[in-house]
């Protein structure tokens, strides 16, 4: 069953690549997407029924997995739907036909899903690295100067970072082996969890391992100062891909880090790893918030906001405790939805105005009422305003921080949130009204004249908005249950 | 009671849908508006029951919310709820024709949809019994008010002002959040009851931090100087009824929050709290009114007066804190009584004045009082109501403003019984309050005299017509409140005192202290009797032209303008205004007869220049430095990673 | 009995007010080697004015006629708080002097409005200047009374008067000196006497009060004039009650009554003489020197309050 | 038989020194092709070591790993890289931001640093000190090359060296991870090199140069 979740996208990728005509490719892609979502739903349901699912020694799905699977399934479905309308803007090029797009996207999906499903930390590493490889071409998809540059930086920086994560993994493995765990499954997560107390003797090694891991996976999560690739990649990739990167990939890496953090806490107590998480989180929030003030490119702005939110999640995990962890998990979910919404609207903006430079975008409210609505909702949500989900999760994390007397982190977070609010408001309010300074499609990559807004451009955004509202007012009980079980996995 | 309360709160959040549904037909709109009015009246009744009879009402929604979310109506909440409804109902009445006339299509729908939401958020704030509910309403309040401001169209300047408003509100909200969360270790659920217990057990350091956070956070919302920057920008931008609500009600939620935390949850603290609050109040009061005097745009002027009155309220609160700190709860009660009553009074007369401004704009299409004049004859009801509003805000006897100011005065006098330095500082504050009163009198003599008396200064003013009945009715209701509270304050004072007793432990008020309330009616009787006697003493009246010193006739340009009126005071207080004057003379042939002389004088409030700019510059400078670190060179990026790793390893080695 | 006396003293003050004015005018005349008009002259003026008709500018609104009556009513109401013969005013409660000050403010406010309703430049001019003076006068006014009240530990005028009656006249506290000085300066400003304002001038450069009432005539003017003379004697009575109440009776009795009336007349004549001498020996201040004049008053008042703590 | 054992012993003993030599030469190298050759040599040494260990510890897995190592790292990747160099027809010198002499000095400093770095862990690990040091050295040198060499290809090589270091570290400390993991890692590496090659061509096509330090359009 777990295999099916992996095979569908993998085979699907080649299936899509096989079909020549764009329309056919699109249809096939949608079908496979639907299938995949069904498979994921099935897995989630199974996990819900019988705690843990395993397939062989290397595949495993527990509640934490299924929580993130829901996240990935939801976002992926939205992205797929949105892409249908979006792709019509992308000119034919060497690799830039729908089939390539969908093919690569499915590969990307495959790697990410396998990250969630791998039971073995080594395998986990392999697939995290694979996500980089699979998405690099998507980042460079437009094949423009910027795209290539961003792609290169993304590839190199992430690979180097991830290499360190490998080193960390090995160190942990070493510690486990030295602590007497059978080398064959000394990388198996559940084994490690149960054997963690025995690792206490290898204090130094475990610490070393976590340092390398947090730097390694931190690079992928986008912790400052390893974040450098993130704004470039998010800004240069096609909007649906940006959404995937920000809303799914970052969570993926964060998931890996959480797994390691759990083991480390079990082994040597939470002091060390949580301090590191708090430091990285706080620094990321502060730096990202400040950098948001001076951005000119809409998607770059959103990318920095992603860094900030990953920082918040890190703070949540670092504070720990049921409240902090709950807030952190919930925040990953809320953030991914809000960010997807924002990237979709950014995509529409780019298609309409042919640019993402915010000083060139004027009169959005008049020309793109729907997109403007989406951007407003997303913006309000992303800065943590009620009645949207992020208000809840941020409030949870702050509550946790204050409960445990972590005042400095709370202070930095609150200050950061205010700065972010100011920055976003400052940039967005300028775009809403006024006269546009250039004809549409001047540098637009598609047909000039009034743009025809398809349902697929708006529908996903509406869905995101609804989801945010629900999560902000009344979180479904079953979902809360799932979250609780996911937390139970980690602690 | 419970049911009514639930119905009231719920219906405020349902009405918007009705408004949207009813946007097409005028009839339906009228129905919805009426329903809105009725709901508010019902709310007023609920609040009144809670306020006078002390009936409590609870609505616990925790089951539906991710956090403990409950509304409860204790006496203090009931008082503020009453305040909201008493103001909001007439404002709604006023808005009916006003909105129909000035807005159409989407803006109108937005207005009618956002108004109930705005009120609803404020109701949530003042009735919340958990921190989460409070903060939820608190953030929404800002959002909806911003939305209501946006309804009035937008331009670069408006958007800039809105930006300042939202940013300051958000920063303030952050402080408020921190203040509430500081209770946490002691009160897991963040219910007010638990927080009260935690507050009493809290260490002094925490208490002080908490107080400062609350003071700053709520001060930003209340518009204390120097946190007032947004206030004179945001309020004038909104449609007049909304301005009335923002200035009259929204600011008061900040007072509520501050009283809740500082008095109810923390139960007072060190004396320096009192001094800080007093200082803030004094500065805001004096500077606020001074800035107001220099304005001649009616709504900006009124906005600055809100700053002034908030200052007066904080004077009372500061006195109360001092008394509590020195263990004189009775006098603290009196000071609080003054402060809270002034909160109510200000809500009433300020909204009355803003509605008056709305009426003026409605029939003359201008709010620049230099363009007005002689309106009293053309709009008698509006004029009379506005005059009552002026008398009240100035704090003249027999009008409500005076009652509360007297209480605060009285508590200042009582300060002489405390230990030094309070024994000198508090009585000294009487001088400050008197100065504020005098300046306010000057300012509103100017406003009413220039706008409503004398000759019209423009064609619009000349052809002004009285506003329709509902608008007049709304103003009349509010004016009536001003007079009733001003003449027979006992009806409000006693329950209010009871409300304060619920969280200020101590002996109830002496009768001697409330004797004032029983003297006022007698003065009223005396004055009224004399007025009647003198008015209807038989006298022949003849209409003539004003004496023109022998000139053929006077014209409106010979009258004193608002600028001219305030000139002496502006000269005396020039230090406050720091005006920048520019005189441009374009000379002609001869020296003494230039072709044109232009004179421009701009007033600069230096806060932006001296306080906000630098702070902002520091932040932006930091941002630019960070921006430069993001060089774009991949090798540098890799270096960052390696350095981070190195730093961590070293840290591990040596820590 | 007590109540009767209280009402009586108020009436006395109101009725006698024009006389005080007349006296001052007469004394001034004598000082300036003129015979001057009779001390009863003000009564004659009032009568004449009451018999005349009200001239109302065509542009004016109802406020124009309401204002003078309001001024008179408020001023008279203020009188009810001042002890004159008996150390218990008709109305008295802790903090009553605040009410008194604000009743005067009420009167002033309506006077200003009435002035601006005329629609001529003079009204506005006068109102604006009055606004300046009164604004700056209010603070020292209250502060000086506050200082005395603190020393007396009594928050009502009557209480203060009773307290000072019990004191030994020879021992004067610094607070009282400062407060008296301050209050005297304020009194000059409030009643519009030289050097702040000149009640007899009609030069547009200098006049304040006169500019405000320029448009008024007939009964309206009469009410205003009467009100202003009541105000004058009220302020004098205030000075007396606070700083030299001796002769005032603590408890009602026939003899006391006689004494009190005698003392009252004496003191008022004395004060009138002081005013007269002062007015004929000092020149009027320039408009923009008035703030300094009141600044001095404020400084004195603040000092007085500070001294209350120093004394203790 | 004894001979093989003797060879194995020697290899284990001397591999560290050889690795140090390769990295020093790499630092001094002026032409990309030289670096590729050196990298190949490096991988050969490591392979030899794996073989030796496999022989000493009698572990079939290790033989398999050695096989993969030989195929992928010693043959395929160097061949692919030099093919790219041929195909690019771009100037073939390594444009370094440090002179060869400086580089050599820095790398030798790094060698010392790595000895210093592993010091505290020795008593825990009980492994051959200088081989572990060599591993760390490879990591550091790789990092150094990536930071100091501005040619896109040189960055790839630096990355490979770095990865070699990690691989070696894993080897000496744990005698290799489970086979499937090792294979997966190698596969990832292969794919990575392939993608990077692709991007190198794209860079060449879009910018007409390979100097990644000039790729600075995206910043701030």
pLDDT of B605 over the 80 cut: no
Q: Which of D117, D147, D216 sits opposite B632 (nearest CB)?
A: D216
Measured distance CA(D163)–CA(D102) in Å, rounded: 24
pLDDT of A450 over the 70 cut: no
- DSSP 3-state of B103: coil
Measured distance CA(A429)–CA(A443) in Å, rounded: 23
A188: β partners: A120
User: End-to-end alpha-carbon separation of chain D, Å?
Assistant: 63
User: Is the pair D, C in contact (3+ CB pairs within 8 Å)?
Assistant: no
Contact B633 D216 (CB under 8 A): yes
What is the band of B45 on the pLDDT scale with cuts at 50, 70, 90? very high
Concatenate the DSSP letters of all residues of D90-126 into one string: ---B--BSS-HHHHHHHHHHHHHHHHHHHGGGHHHH-
pLDDT tens per residue across span A162-218: 999 999 999 999 899 888 888 888 899 999 999 999 898 888 889 999 999 999 999
From chain A, pick out residues whose CB is under 8 angstroms from the CB of B135: 395
pLDDT at site A443: 47
- What does DSSP say about strands C54-57 and B541-544: parallel, antiparallel, or unpaired? parallel
Q: b/e per residue, A72-109, with b = 16+ CB within 10 A? A: bbbbbbbbbbbbbbbbbbbeeeebbbbbbbbbbbbbbb
Q: B: neighbours with 3+ CB pairs under 8 Å? A: A, C, D
pLDDT at site A447: 39
- Top residue of B568, B573, B576 to mutate, by most chain C CBs within 10 Å, is B568
Measured distance CA(A253)–CA(A158) in Å, rounded: 11
Measured distance CA(B611)–CA(B220) in Å, rounded: 14
* A21 contact partners, CB below 8 Å, separation of at least 6: none
Alpha-helical segments (H) within A358-406:
364-367, 369-382, 389-403
CB pairs under 8 A between B and D: 32
In a domain, D105, yes or no: yes
Number of domains in chain B: 1
pLDDT of D30 over the 50 cut: yes
pLDDT tens per residue across span D64-96: 888 998 999 999 999 999 999 988 887 778 778
In a domain, B506, yes or no: no
In a domain, A12, yes or no: yes
Measured distance CA(A70)–CA(C279) in Å, rounded: 93
CA distance B621 to chain D (A): 13
Q: Which of B539, B547, B548 sits opposite C54 (nearest CB)?
A: B539
Residues A256 and A293 reside in one and the same domain: no
Residues A249 and A278 reside in one and the same domain: no
From chain D, pick out residues whose CB is under 8 angstroms from the CB of A150: 218
Of B372-386, B491-505, B544-558, the poorest mean pLDDT is in B544-558
Q: Could you tell me if A216 lies within 8 Å of chain D, comparing CB atoms?
A: no
The domain in which residue A204 lies consists of: 144-269
Compute the half-sphere exposure of residue A313: CA atoms within 13 Å on the CB side of its CA. Answer: 27
Measured distance CA(B142)–CA(A375) in Å, rounded: 19
Contact C287 B568 (CB under 8 A): yes
pLDDT tens per residue across span C118-159: 888 889 999 999 999 999 999 999 999 999 999 999 999 999
What ipTM does this complex have? Answer: 0.91
The domain in which residue D170 lies consists of: 2-211
User: End-to-end alpha-carbon separation of chain C, Å?
Assistant: 38
pLDDT of D41 over the 70 cut: yes
pLDDT tens per residue across span B471-483: 999 999 999 999 9
Measured distance CA(D27)–CA(C110) in Å, rounded: 95
From chain B, pick out residues whose CB is under 8 angstroms from the CB of D219: 630-632
Burial of A160 (0-12, 13-18, 19+ CB in 10 A): buried
**DSSP secondary-structure letter at A224?**
T
Taking alpha carbons only, the member of D18, D41, D48 closest to residue D161 is D41
Q: Do the Cβ atoms of C39 and C23 come closer than 8 Å?
A: yes
Of A373-377, B416-420, B433-437, the poorest mean pLDDT is in B416-420
* Nearest chain D residue (CA) to B635: D147
Number of domains in chain C: 1
Helices (H) and strands (E) in chain A, counts: 20, 2
CB pairs under 8 A between B and C: 263
Q: Which A residues in the span 200-239 are in contact with B, Cβ-Cβ below 8 Å?
A: 207-208, 211-212, 214-215, 219, 225-226, 228-229, 231
- Top residue of A364, A421, A484 to mutate, by most chain B CBs within 10 Å, is A421
Residues A258 and A293 reside in one and the same domain: no
User: Is the pair B, C in contact (3+ CB pairs within 8 Å)?
Assistant: yes
The domain in which residue C34 lies consists of: 2-311
Q: b/e per residue, B344-377, with b = 16+ CB within 10 A? A: bbbbbbbbbbbbbbbbbbbbbebbebbbbbbbbb
Q: Could you tell me if D113 lies within 8 Å of chain B, comparing CB atoms?
A: no
Residues A411 and A331 reside in one and the same domain: yes
Measured distance CA(A35)–CA(A41) in Å, rounded: 10
What is the share, in percent, of chain C residues with pLDDT greater than 90?
69
pLDDT at site C59: 87
In a domain, A139, yes or no: no
Measured distance CA(C175)–CA(C183) in Å, rounded: 12
Contact D218 A146 (CB under 8 A): yes
pLDDT at site B456: 92
The domain in which residue B637 lies consists of: 610-654
Number of domains in chain A: 3
* Nearest chain B residue (CA) to A207: B652
Residues A443 and A326 reside in one and the same domain: yes
Measured distance CA(A328)–CA(A312) in Å, rounded: 8
Measured distance CA(B369)–CA(B450) in Å, rounded: 7
Mean pLDDT across C201-206 = 80
Measured distance CA(B178)–CA(B206) in Å, rounded: 12
What is the share, in percent, of chain C residues with pLDDT greater than 70?
100
pLDDT at site A394: 95
Measured distance CA(B610)–CA(B599) in Å, rounded: 26
What is the band of D13 on the pLDDT scale with cuts at 50, 70, 90? confident
Q: Record the tokens describing residue C188, joined without a space.
A: 């000059």
pLDDT of A444 over the 60 cut: no
pLDDT at site B504: 87
A55: phi then psi, degrees, rounded to nearest 5: -135, 110
Mean pLDDT across B84-105 = 94
pLDDT of A261 over the 60 cut: yes
**DSSP secondary-structure letter at D151?**
B
Mean pLDDT across B541-554 = 82
Computed over every residue of chain A, the mean pLDDT equals 91
Task: Quickly count: other Cβ atoms within 10 Å of residue D96's Cβ.
Answer: 18
pLDDT of B254 over the 60 cut: yes
Q: Record the tokens describing residue C247, joined without a space.
A: 């002769």
pLDDT of C112 over the 90 cut: yes
| pTM recorded for the entire structure | 0.93
Q: Which C residues in the span 31-60 are in contact with B, Cβ-Cβ below 8 Å?
A: 53-60
- Top residue of C92, C102, C291 to mutate, by most chain B CBs within 10 Å, is C102
Q: Do the Cβ atoms of B107 and B149 come closer than 8 Å?
A: no
Cis amide leading into B521 (omega within 30)? no
pLDDT at site A445: 41
Q: Which helix (H) or strand (E) holds A130?
A: helix A121-139
pLDDT tens per residue across span A35-71: 999 999 999 999 999 889 998 889 999 999 999 999 9
pLDDT tens per residue across span C39-63: 999 999 999 999 999 999 988 999 9
- Top residue of A146, A159, A173 to mutate, by most chain D CBs within 10 Å, is A159
Mean pLDDT across B580-589 = 75
Residues A258 and A282 reside in one and the same domain: no
pLDDT at site B604: 63
pLDDT at site C309: 86
Range list of β-strands (E), B424-575: 541-544
Q: Do the Cβ atoms of A357 and A300 come closer than 8 Å?
A: no
pLDDT top residue among B554 and B444: B444
Distances (CA, A) of B206 to A407, B219, B235: 11, 19, 35
What is the band of A225 on the pLDDT scale with cuts at 50, 70, 90? very high
Number of domains in chain D: 1
Q: Could you tell me if C141 lies within 8 Å of chain B, comparing CB atoms?
A: yes
**DSSP secondary-structure letter at A54?**
E
Q: D: neighbours with 3+ CB pairs under 8 Å? A: A, B
* A343 contact partners, CB below 8 Å, separation of at least 6: A239, A240, A242, A243, A246, A247, A299, A302
Contact B633 D220 (CB under 8 A): no
pLDDT tens per residue across span B630-652: 999 999 999 999 999 999 988 88
CA distance D67 to chain B (A): 32
Measured distance CA(B352)–CA(B387) in Å, rounded: 10
Q: Do the Cβ atoms of C126 and C209 come closer than 8 Å?
A: yes
Q: Which of B630, B634, B653 sits opposite D215 (nearest CB)?
A: B634
pLDDT of A438 over the 60 cut: no
B191: phi then psi, degrees, rounded to nearest 5: -80, 150
What is the band of A448 on the pLDDT scale with cuts at 50, 70, 90? very low
Q: Record the tokens describing residue C40, joined without a space.
A: 């009863």
Measured distance CA(C118)–CA(C212) in Å, rounded: 9
From chain B, pick out residues whose CB is under 8 angstroms from the CB of C115: 449
Contact B159 A430 (CB under 8 A): yes
From chain B, pick out residues whose CB is under 8 angstroms from the CB of D148: 635
In a domain, B634, yes or no: yes
Q: Which of B395, B528, B541 sits opposite C56 (nearest CB)?
A: B541
Of A64-73, A414-423, D51-60, the poorest mean pLDDT is in D51-60
Contact D146 B632 (CB under 8 A): no
CA distance A405 to chain B (A): 8
Range list of β-strands (E), B136-242: none
pLDDT top residue among A229 and A86: A229
Contact C128 B565 (CB under 8 A): yes
Concatenate the DSSP letters of all residues of A292-329 into one string: HHT--BHHHHHHHHHHHHHHHHHHHHHH-HHHHHHHHH
pLDDT tens per residue across span D122-172: 777 777 788 888 999 999 999 999 999 988 999 999 999 999 999 888 888
* Nearest chain A residue (CA) to B136: A386
In a domain, B545, yes or no: no
- DSSP 3-state of D209: coil
pLDDT top residue among B343 and D181: B343
Taking alpha carbons only, the member of A166, A165, A283 closest to residue A227 is A283
Taking alpha carbons only, the member of A190, A59, A193 closest to residue A117 is A59
Mean pLDDT across B620-636 = 93
From chain A, pick out residues whose CB is under 8 angstroms from the CB of B67: 392, 395
In a domain, A137, yes or no: no
pLDDT of B606 over the 80 cut: no
In a domain, A151, yes or no: yes
CA distance A81 to chain D (A): 28
- DSSP 3-state of A118: strand
From chain B, pick out residues whose CB is under 8 angstroms from the CB of D220: 627, 630, 632
pLDDT of A96 over the 80 cut: no
Q: Do the Cβ atoms of C187 and C233 come closer than 8 Å?
A: no
Q: b/e per residue, B256-269, with b = 16+ CB within 10 A? A: bbbbbbbbbbbbbb
Of B59-63, B388-392, B585-589, C161-165, the poorest mean pLDDT is in B585-589
CA geometry: angle at C212 spanning C209 and C217, to 5°?
110
Q: b/e per residue, A228-256, with b = 16+ CB within 10 A? A: bbbbbbbbbbbbbbbbbbbbbbbbbbbbb
Q: Record the tokens describing residue B338, joined without a space.
A: 């003054």
Burial of C269 (0-12, 13-18, 19+ CB in 10 A): middle
């Amino acid at each position: 069953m777990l295999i099916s979740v992996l095979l569908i996208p993998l085979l699907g990728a080649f299936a899509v690549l096989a079909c020549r005509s764009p329309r056919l490719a699109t249809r096939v892609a949608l079908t496979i997407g639907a299938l995949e979502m069904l498979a994921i739903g099935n897995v989630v349901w199974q996990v819900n029924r019988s705690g843990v699912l395993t397939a062989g020694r290397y595949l495993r799905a527990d509640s934490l997995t299924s929580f993130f699977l829901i996240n990935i399934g939801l976002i992926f479905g939205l992205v797929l739907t949105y892409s249908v309308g979006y792709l019509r803007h992308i000119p034919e090029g060497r690799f830039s036909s729908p089939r390539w797009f969908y093919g690569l996207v499915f590969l990307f999906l495959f790697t990410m899903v396998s990250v969630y499903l791998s039971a073995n930390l080594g395998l986990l590493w392999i697939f995290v690295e694979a996500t980089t490889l699979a998405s690099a071409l998507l980042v460079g998809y437009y094949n423009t100067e910027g795209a290539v540059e961003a792609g290169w930086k993304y590839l190199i920086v992430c690979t180097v970072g991830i290499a360190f994560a490998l080193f960390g993994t090995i160190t942990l493995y070493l510690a486990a082996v030295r602590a007497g765990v059978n080398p064959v499954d000394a990388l198996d997560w559940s084994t490690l969890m149960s054997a963690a107390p025995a690792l206490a003797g290898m204090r130094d090694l475990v610490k070393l391992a976590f340092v390398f891991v947090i730097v390694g996976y931190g690079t992928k999560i986008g912790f400052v100062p390893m974040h450098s690739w993130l704004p470039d990649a998010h800004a240069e990739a096609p909007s649906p891909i940006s959404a995937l990167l920000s809303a799914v990939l970052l969570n993926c890496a964060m998931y890996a880090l959480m797994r390691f953090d759990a083991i480390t806490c079990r082994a040597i107590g939470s002091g060390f790893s949580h301090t590191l998480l708090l430091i990285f989180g706080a620094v990321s929030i502060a730096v990202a918030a400040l950098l948001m003030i001076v951005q000119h490119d809409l998607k770059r702005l959103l990318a920095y906001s992603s860094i900030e939110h990953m920082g918040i999640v890190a703070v949540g995990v670092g504070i720990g405790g049921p409240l902090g962890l709950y807030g952190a998990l919930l925040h990953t979910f809320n953030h991914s939805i809000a960010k997807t919404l924002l990237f979709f609207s950014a995509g529409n903006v780019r298609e309409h105005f042919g640019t993402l430079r915010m000083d060139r975008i004027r009169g959005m409210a008049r020309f793109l009422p729907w997109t403007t609505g989406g951007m407003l909702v997303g913006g309000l949500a992303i800065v943590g305003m009620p009645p949207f989900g992020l208000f809840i999760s941020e409030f949870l994390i702050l509550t946790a921080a204050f409960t445990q007397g972590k005042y400095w982190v709370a202070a930095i977070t609150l200050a950061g949130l205010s700065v972010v609010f100011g920055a976003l408001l400052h940039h967005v309010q300028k775009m809403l009204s006024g006269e546009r300074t250039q004809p549409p499609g001047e540098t637009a990559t598609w047909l000039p004249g009034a743009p025809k807004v398809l349902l697929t451009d708006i529908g996903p955004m509406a869905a995101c908005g609804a989801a945010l509202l629900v999560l902000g007012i009344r979180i479904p009980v079953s979902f809360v249950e799932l979250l609780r079980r996911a937390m139970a996995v980690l602690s | 009671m419970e049911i009514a309360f639930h119905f009231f709160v719920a219906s405020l959040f349902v009405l918007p849908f009705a408004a949207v549904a009813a946007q097409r037909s005028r009839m339906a709109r009228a129905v919805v508006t009426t329903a809105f009015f009725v709901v508010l009246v019902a709310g007023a009744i609920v609040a009144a029951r809670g306020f006078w009879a002390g009936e409590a009402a609870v609505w616990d929604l925790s089951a539906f919310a991710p956090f403990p979310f409950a509304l409860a109506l204790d006496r203090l909440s009931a008082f503020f709820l009453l305040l909201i409804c008493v103001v909001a109902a007439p404002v709604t009445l006023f808005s009916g024709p006003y909105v129909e006339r000035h807005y159409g299509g989407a803006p109108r729908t937005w207005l009618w949809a956002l108004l109930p939401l705005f009120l609803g958020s404020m109701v949530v704030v003042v009735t919340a019994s958990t921190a989460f509910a409070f903060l939820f309403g608190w953030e929404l309040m800002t959002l909806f008010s911003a939305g209501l401001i946006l309804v009035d169209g937008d331009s670069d300047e408006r958007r800039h002002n809105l930006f300042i408003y939202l940013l300051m509100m958000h920063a303030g909200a952050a402080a408020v959040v921190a203040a509430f969360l500081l209770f946490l270790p002691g009160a897991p659920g963040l219910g007010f009851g638990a927080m009260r217990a935690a507050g009493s057990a809290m260490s002094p350091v925490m208490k002080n931090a908490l107080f400062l956070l609350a003071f700053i956070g709520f001060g930003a919302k209340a518009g204390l100087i120097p946190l007032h920057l947004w206030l004179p920008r945001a309020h004038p931008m909104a449609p007049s009824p909304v301005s009335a609500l923002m200035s009259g009600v929204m600011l008061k939620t900040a007072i509520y929050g501050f009283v809740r935390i500082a008095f109810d949850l923390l139960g007072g603290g060190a004396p320096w709290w009192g001094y800080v609050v007093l200082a803030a109040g004094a500065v805001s009061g004096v500077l606020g009114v001074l800035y107001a005097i220099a304005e001649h745009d009616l709504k900006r002027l009124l906005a600055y007066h809100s700053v002034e009155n908030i200052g007066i309220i904080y004077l009372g609160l500061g006195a109360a804190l001092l008394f509590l700190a020195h263990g004189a709860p009775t006098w603290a009660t009196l000071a609080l009584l003054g402060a809270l009553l002034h909160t109510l009074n200000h809500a009433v007369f300020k909204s009355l004045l803003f509605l008056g401004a709305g009426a003026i704009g409605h029939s003359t299409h201008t709010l620049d009082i230099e363009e007005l004049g002689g309106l009293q004859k053309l709009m008698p009801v509006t004029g009379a109501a506005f005059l009552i509003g002026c008398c009240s805000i100035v704090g003249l006897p027999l009008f409500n403003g005076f009652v509360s100011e007297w209480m605060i005065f009285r508590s200042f006098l009582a300060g002489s019984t405390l230990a030094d330095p309070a024994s000198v500082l508090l009585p000294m504050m009487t001088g400050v309050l008197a100065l504020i009163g005098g300046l306010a009198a000057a300012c509103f003599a100017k406003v009413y005299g220039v706008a409503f008396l004398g000759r019209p200064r423009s064609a619009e003013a000349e052809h002004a017509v009285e506003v329709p009945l509902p608008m007049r009715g709304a103003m009349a209701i509010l004016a009536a409140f001003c007079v009733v509270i001003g003449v027979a304050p006992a009806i409000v004072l006693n329950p209010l005192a009871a409300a304060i007793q619920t969280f200020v432990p101590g002996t109830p008020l002496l009768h001697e202290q409330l004797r004032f309330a029983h003297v006022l009616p007698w003065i009223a009787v005396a004055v009224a009797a004399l007025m009647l006697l003198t008015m209807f003493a038989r006298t022949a009246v003849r209409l003539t032209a004003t004496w023109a010193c022998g000139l053929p006739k006077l014209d409106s340009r010979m009258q004193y303008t608002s600028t001219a009126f305030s000139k002496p005071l502006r000269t005396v207080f020039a230090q406050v205004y720091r005006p920048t004057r520019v005189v441009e003379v374009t000379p002609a042939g001869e020296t003494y007869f230039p072709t044109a002389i232009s004179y421009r004088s701009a007033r600069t409030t230096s806060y932006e220049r001296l306080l906000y700019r630098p702070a902002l510059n520091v932040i932006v400078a930091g941002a630019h430095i960070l921006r430069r670190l993001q060089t774009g060179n991949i090798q540098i990026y890799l270096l960052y990673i390696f350095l981070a790793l190195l730093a961590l390893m070293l840290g591990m080695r040596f820590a | 009995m007590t109540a009767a006396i209280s009402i009586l003293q108020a009436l006395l003050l109101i009725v006698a007010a024009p006389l005080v004015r007349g006296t001052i005018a007469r004394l001034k005349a004598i000082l300036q080697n003129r015979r001057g008009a009779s001390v009863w002259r003000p009564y004659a003026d009032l009568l004449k004015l009451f018999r005349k008709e009200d001239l109302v500018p065509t542009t004016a609104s109802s406020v124009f006629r309401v204002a003078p009556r309001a001024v008179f009513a408020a001023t008279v109401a203020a009188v009810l708080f001042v002890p004159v013969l008996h150390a218990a005013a008709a109305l008295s409660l802790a903090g009553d002097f605040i009410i008194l000050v604000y009743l005067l403010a009420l009167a002033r406010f309506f006077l200003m409005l009435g002035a601006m309703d005329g629609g001529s430049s003079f009204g506005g001019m006068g109102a604006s200047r009055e606004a300046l003076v009164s604004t700056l006068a209010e603070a020292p006014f209250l502060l000086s009374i506050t200082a005395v009240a603190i020393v007396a530990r009594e928050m009502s005028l009557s209480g203060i008067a009773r307290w000072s009656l019990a004191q030994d006249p020879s021992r004067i506290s610094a607070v009282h000196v400062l407060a008296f000085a301050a209050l005297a300066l304020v009194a000059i400003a409030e009643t519009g006497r030289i050097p702040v304002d000149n009640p007899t001038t009609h030069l547009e450069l200098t006049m304040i009060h006169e500019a405000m009432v320029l448009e008024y005539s007939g009964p309206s003017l009469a009410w205003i004039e009467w009100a202003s003379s009541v105000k004058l004697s009220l302020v004098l009575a205030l000075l007396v009650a606070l700083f030299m109440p001796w002769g005032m009776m603590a408890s009602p009795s026939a003899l006391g009554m006689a004494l009190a009336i005698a003392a009252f007349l004496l003191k008022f004549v004395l004060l009138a003489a002081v005013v007269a001498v002062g007015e004929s020996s000092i020149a009027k201040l320039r408009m923009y020197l008035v703030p300094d004049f009141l600044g001095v008053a404020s400084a004195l008042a603040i000092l007085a309050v500070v001294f209350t703590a120093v004394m203790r | 038989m004894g001979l093989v054992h003797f060879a194995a012993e020697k290899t284990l003993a001397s591999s560290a020194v050889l690795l140090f030599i390769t990295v020093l030469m790499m630092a001094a190298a002026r032409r990309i092709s030289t670096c590729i050759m050196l990298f190949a040599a490096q991988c050969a040494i490591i392979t030899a070591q794996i073989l030796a260990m496999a022989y000493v510890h009698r572990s079939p897995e290790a033989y398999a790993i050695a096989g993969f190592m030989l195929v992928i790292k010693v043959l395929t990747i160097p061949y692919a890289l030099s093919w790219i160099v041929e195909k690019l027809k771009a100037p073939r010198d390594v444009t370094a931001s440090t002179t060869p002499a400086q580089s050599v000095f820095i790398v030798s400093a790094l060698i010392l640093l790595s000895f210093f770095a592993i010091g505290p862990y020795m008593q825990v690990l009980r492994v051959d000190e200088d081989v572990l040091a060599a591993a760390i050295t490879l990591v550091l040198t790789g990092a150094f090359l990536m930071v100091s060499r501005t040619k896109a290809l040189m960055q790839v090589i630096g990355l490979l060296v770095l990865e070699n270091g990690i691989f070696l570290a894993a080897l000496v400390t744990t005698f290799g991870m489970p086979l499937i993991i090792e294979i997966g890692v190698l596969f990832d590496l292969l794919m990575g090199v392939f993608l990077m090659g692709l991007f190198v061509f794209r860079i060449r096509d879009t910018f007409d140069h390979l100097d990644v330090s000039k790729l600075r359009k995206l910043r701030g």
